């Protein structure tokens, strides 16, 4: 209830007193959840290459699709057989775009899910690998990545590829990608049928900014110039938080987090879970005692829980 009350107060303050962004010259993209909700998304034109690799269980393909006016690249693992197969969109964690290669990250999940009957589409995001560039991506607080994930789901639903089951589409995000998933669910509910997060960043952008971006002086200074300090401009920063819009989420959510995660603190996951429950979302947090950010020990157990979760909700 407190998160919903915060949202109402914040919206009233913003409408009454401040613009959504400081200046078009410093922030060309509206970084808020309401701003993203108001924009139309046009994901489509999903194209898959011939197989670039294969094994006895699945083939691997390069893919592209449209995310509004951008072309986004990615990797798809397709189980052998005619299908149609349920689809899982993967939202990867932070990797410096300068060194990122297409499909990087999620190697365990890409392989396991494809071997167990899921088409896996790993999204590269804008400014990554073969995707088009967005000059504003550093200032939009990952909203652009969230829109790329939403548009991947829309591209699947619009696709004519016969092996994709357009009525069974899930999303799975890790670390930064977990935060991207929460943004996507709040911005455009109903695209996915179920959502999973692993070791997610905070659903409050202030936590993430203080943990990472503030320490990167160039981008940190640009963000502060555009939006102000969180303490001096709390209404705007609250509108950038997916947490204050969890009441829009319609999908069931399963989250995993290790108690010894030194990258994304377990308290973030607990606060997100509390906010999801307060908003009435069908959400479950599974904690693994002593597990670190990369889930080296409990990953096998967690992926079996993911499979059971998908089996229940992707019908």
Nearest to 119 by CA among 129, 105, 131, 109: 109
Domains of the chain: 2-313 (3.40.50.1820)
**What span, in angstroms and rounded, lies between the C-alpha atoms of 78 and 221?**
43
**What span, in angstroms and rounded, lies between the C-alpha atoms of 126 and 133?**
6
User: What mean pLDDT is predicted for residues 215-228?
Assistant: 91
The answer to whether residue 4 scores a pLDDT higher than 90 is no
What predicted TM-score, i.e. pTM, was given to this entire model? 0.92
Q: What's the pLDDT score for residue 7?
A: 52
Q: What's the pLDDT score for residue 137?
A: 86
pLDDT level of residue 215 (50, 70, 90 thresholds): confident
Tokens (6 digits) for 4: 């919903």
Q: What does the DSSP assignment read for 209-271?
A: HHHTGGGSHHHHHHHHHHH--TTTSHHHHHHT-GGGGGGG--S-EEEEEETT-SSS-HHHHHH
């Amino acid at each position: 209830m407190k998160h919903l009350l915060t949202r109402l107060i914040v919206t009233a303050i913003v409408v009454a007193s401040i613009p959504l962004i400081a200046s078009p010259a410093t922030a060309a993209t509206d970084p808020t959840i309401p701003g993203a909700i108001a924009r139309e998304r046009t994901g489509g034109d999903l194209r898959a290459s011939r197989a670039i690799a294969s094994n006895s269980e699945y083939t691997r393909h390069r893919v592209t699709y449209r995310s509004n006016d951008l072309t986004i690249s990615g990797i798809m693992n397709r189980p052998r057989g005619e299908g149609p197969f349920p689809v899982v969109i993967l939202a990867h964690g932070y990797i410096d775009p300068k060194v990122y290669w297409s499909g990087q990250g999620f190697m365990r999940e890409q392989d396991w899910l494809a071997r167990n009957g899921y088409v896996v589409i790993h999204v590269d995001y804008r400014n990554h690998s073969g995707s088009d560039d967005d000059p504003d991506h550093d200032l939009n607080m990952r909203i652009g990545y969230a829109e790329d994930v939403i548009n991947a789901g829309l591209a699947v639903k619009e696709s004519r590829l016969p092996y994709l089951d357009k009525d069974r589409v899930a999303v799975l995000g890790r670390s930064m990608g977990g935060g991207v998933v929460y943004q996507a669910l709040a911005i455009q509910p109903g695209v996915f049928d179920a959502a999973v997060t692993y070791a997610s960043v905070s659903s409050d952008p202030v936590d993430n900014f203080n943990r990472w971006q503030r320490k990167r002086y160039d981008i940190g200074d640009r963000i502060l110039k555009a939006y102000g300090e969180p303490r001096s401009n709390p209404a705007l920063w609250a509108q950038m938080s997916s947490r204050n819009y969890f009441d829009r989420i319609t999908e069931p959510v399963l989250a995993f987090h290790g108690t010894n995660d030194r990258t994304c603190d377990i308290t973030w996951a607990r606060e997100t879970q509390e906010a999801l429950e307060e908003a009435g979302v069908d959400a479950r947090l599974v904690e693994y005692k002593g597990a670190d950010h990369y889930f080296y020990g409990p990953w096998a157990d967690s992926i079996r829980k993911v499979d059971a979760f998908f089996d229940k909700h992707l019908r």
